Amino acid sequence: MPRLSSALAAELAGTAHALADAARPETMRHFRIGTAAYNKRADGFDPVTEGDRAAERAMRAVLAIRRPDDAILGEEFGASAGSTGLTWVLDPIDGTRAYLAGAPSWGVLVAVSDADGPILGLIDQPHIQERFYGGPDGARYTGPTGARDIRVAPDRPLSDAILMTTVPEVGTAAERDAFARVSAEVRLTRYGLDCYAYALLAMGQVDLVIEAGLQPYDIQGPMAVIHAAGGIVTDWTGGPARDGGRVIAASGPALHRAAMAHLAGE
């Protein structure tokens, strides 16, 4: 049974695109101009910029008009309650460290979820004007080269896979060791692309993304895109990933099983 009607799905998809459209100019106004960063943590570096805050404010303003009764979970301004059973999960700039460095690997993440997880979502990269959408109607890329449907790469052996994560440190010492076991088995490991790595997986360029320490707003948009493109996203034990934590995204089931076995030390 479908989780929502085709009319509602179309309305939600239109709203998701409207949110990304609203966030784009706000992020770009503060990009590569030496914007100040404020640290949200006393025990490390968790930066936020006015670009993050302005983009989330812009998205919330759109929701106040288009979907005022839905709940919201945003990275910068927290949670607000709703009455429809739907929650918009917003990360105005995923990859703020890359944003500060002037690298175009950050993105705007949008998802709308129900009790079972994300229904649809997108990854938007304003600087290079690429958008990756995933929902009940499939997965689609739009950007400088045009628009097209996208699909994950065919399932393949771990030894042939390309693996990505954001930073070599990954998480705790135990999580780093687990990641290293997988990395030792793959064809190529690359670092540093934040949410853009998930977009590359959805379009068939890479095969695995493994991360730890994620929040719901870090993963729900990418989850929606990868699921719509035919991929798999779970936690490191094969359970639900919608709440973040330790996440593995894979292009196919055999690759997913093999990577999870190495994460578990089998």
Domain containing residue 46: 6-149
Last residue of a domain, one of 149, 171, 202: 149
Statement to judge: residues 178 and 231 lie in one domain: yes
pLDDT at 35: 77
Domain count, the chain: 2
- pTM recorded for the entire structure: 0.95
Average pLDDT, the chain: 95
- How many CB atoms neighbour CB 234 within 10 A? 18
Tens of pLDDT, residues 188-229: 999 999 999 999 999 999 999 999 999 999 999 999 999 999
| Boundary residue ending a domain (149, 180, 199) | 149
Whole-number Å distance between alpha carbons of 48 and 30: 12
Task: Indicate if 176 and 143 belong to the same structural domain.
Answer: no
131: left (phi over 0), alpha (psi -120 to 50) or beta: beta
> Based on the domain organization, do 144 and 18 belong to the same domain?
yes
Q: Tell me the C-alpha distance between 177 and 175, whole Å.
A: 5
User: Does 1 fall in a domain?
Assistant: no
Q: pLDDT tens across 42-99, in order?
A: 676 778 889 999 999 999 999 999 999 999 999 999 999 999 999 999 999 999 999 9
Residue 207 lies in a domain: yes
